[in-house]
């Protein structure tokens, strides 16, 4: 490849900018022309494409969001949309594309690969729901934000001997709830991967309060259900005073942690090098510290395994 483009697509995540910076600077380092596409696949279809230089990605590694902006694009899900996108890239002489995003973004990259554009996917989402990588870019920052919020909730919950039910993002994946719950010493972690009856949560809470606990934290993944429903059912049981906190999009903002910046930088550079080697239709990831590229078909058709060992640990430690 001689000329590559990069776009960010789907829900943004902290560390996407580090990945964009790495793609641009690594591409330039290897003598490629590098283009940035604004607003994901929608921007591609609008030909909203500009050439990037070293300075276009200066002062962004520490910023949340994505300087390339993002969008969810319906038109690109159609065959006509995909063909139009491939044509636009070809007309501009762009033969490689790096897509930073989640599942839907990967599927688009796969389609373009089959239309003759060399593509690589980089996992950018706070959800940590992409297979063939231990972590996605943004997950570490999102978990830190949740942990920080729970630390604050603990203070006021203890003062009032209340229970806090905190709803976190993750779409169908319980990883944000799992990691944040373990890291913040939550009493109960409700995730879609593990069936858990709400009456058991209430029983446990009452027992723990009877044994001297002054507060309790329940973390509920949005894929499990709504914090409002959990609180409603807990408050029906006598003696429990539960409150709802829905953290929402706060989890997607703010400066990325060093882990997300390092991950974004490594994956951005790796994707460029794989394109230069002629690879295409792959999703990049890091497993046990090693960079790997896996067929996108395989990535999108696999479910990331849930870390039961961590879940069981959290249960054992929350007695």
Residues found near ligand F6P in the complex (CB under 6 A): 11, 102, 125-127, 169-171, 222, 252
* Helical segments of the chain, H only: 16-29, 40-45, 79-91, 103-114, 139-160, 175-183, 198-210, 227-236, 258-276, 296-300, 308-317
Task: Report the residue number, 95 or 222, with the smaller CB distance to ligand F6P.
Answer: 222
Task: Report the residue number, 103 or 187, with the smaller CB distance to ligand F6P.
Answer: 103
Per this entry, what is the length of the chain?
A: 319
Rounded to the nearest whole angstrom, what is the least distance from the CB of residue 169 to ligand F6P in the complex? 3
Rounded to the nearest whole angstrom, what is the least distance from the CB of residue 315 to ligand F6P in the complex? 24
Rounded to the nearest whole angstrom, what is the least distance from the CB of residue 154 to ligand F6P in the complex? 23
Count of beta carbons in the 10 Å neighbourhood of residue 61: 18
Catalytic residue among 127, 129, 140, 269: 127
Q: CA–CA separation, 311 vs 319, rounded Å?
A: 13
Please tell me whether 274 is known to bind a ligand. Answer: no
Rounded to the nearest whole angstrom, what is the least distance from the CB of residue 211 to ligand F6P in the complex? 35
Q: CA–CA separation, 265 vs 198, rounded Å?
A: 42
Please tell me whether 55 is known to bind a ligand. Answer: no
For β-strands 33-37 and 282-287, DSSP reports them as unpaired
Please tell me whether 125 is known to bind a ligand. Answer: yes
Give how far Cα 287 sits from Cα of 17, 20, 206, 301, Å. Answer: 22, 21, 41, 18
Please tell me whether 169 is known to bind a ligand. Answer: yes
Examine the residue annotation and report whether 47 is marked as an active-site residue of this protein.
Answer: no
Backbone CA torsion sign across 111, 117, 123, 125: negative
Answer yes or no: are the C-beta atoms of 9 and 20 closer than 8 Å: no
Rounded to the nearest whole angstrom, what is the least distance from the CB of residue 102 to ligand F6P in the complex? 6
Task: Report the residue number, 35 or 135, with the smaller CB distance to ligand F6P.
Answer: 135
Task: Report the residue number, 126 or 137, with the smaller CB distance to ligand F6P.
Answer: 126
Please tell me whether 126 is known to bind a ligand. Answer: yes
Please tell me whether 273 is known to bind a ligand. Answer: no
The separation between CA 167 and the C-alpha centre of its own chain, rounded to angstroms, equals 16
Strand partners, 287: 290
Task: Report the residue number, 102 or 174, with the smaller CB distance to ligand F6P.
Answer: 102
Which positions make up the binding site? 11, 21-25, 72-73, 102-105, 125-127, 154, 162, 169-171, 185-187, 213-215, 222, 243, 249-252
Which positions make up the binding site for Mg(2+)? 103
Please give the positions annotated as active site: 127
């Amino acid at each position: 490849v001689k000329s590559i483009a990069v776009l960010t697509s789907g829900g943004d995540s902290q560390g996407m900018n580090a990945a964009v910076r790495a793609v641009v600077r690594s591409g330039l380092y290897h003598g490629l022309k590098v283009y940035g596409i604004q607003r994901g696949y929608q921007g591609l279809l609008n030909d909203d494409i500009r050439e990037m230089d070293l300075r276009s990605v200066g002062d962004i590694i520490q910023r949340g969001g994505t300087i390339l902006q993002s969008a969810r694009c319906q038109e690109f899900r159609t065959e006509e949309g995909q063909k139009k996108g491939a044509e636009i890239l070809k007309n501009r002489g762009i033969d490689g594309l790096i897509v930073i995003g989640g599942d839907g973004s990967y599927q688009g990259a796969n389609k373009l690969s089959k239309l003759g554009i060399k593509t690589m996917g980089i996992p950018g989402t706070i959800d940590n729901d992409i297979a063939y990588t231990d972590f996605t870019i943004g997950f570490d920052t999102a978990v830190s934000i949740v942990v920080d919020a729970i630390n604050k909730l603990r203070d006021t919950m203890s003062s009032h001997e209340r229970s806090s039910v905190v709803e976190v993002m993750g779409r169908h994946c319980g990883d944000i709830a799992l990691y944040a719950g373990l890291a913040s010493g939550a009493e109960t972690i409700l995730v879609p991967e593990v069936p858990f009856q709400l009456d058991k949560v209430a029983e446990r809470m009452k027992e723990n309060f009877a044994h001297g606990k002054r507060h309790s934290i329940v973390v509920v993944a949005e894929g499990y259900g709504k914090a409002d429903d959990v609180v409603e059912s807990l408050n029906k049981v006598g003696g429990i005073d539960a409150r709802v906190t829905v953290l929402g999009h706060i989890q997607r903002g703010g400066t990325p942690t060093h882990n997300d910046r390092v991950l974004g930088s490594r994956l951005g550079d790796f994707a460029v090098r794989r394109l230069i080697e002629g690879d295409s239709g792959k999703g990049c990831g890091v497993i046990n510290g090693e960079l790997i590229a896996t067929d996108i078909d395989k990535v999108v058709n696999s479910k990331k395994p849930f870390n039961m060992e961590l879940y069981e640990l959290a249960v054992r430690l929350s007695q």
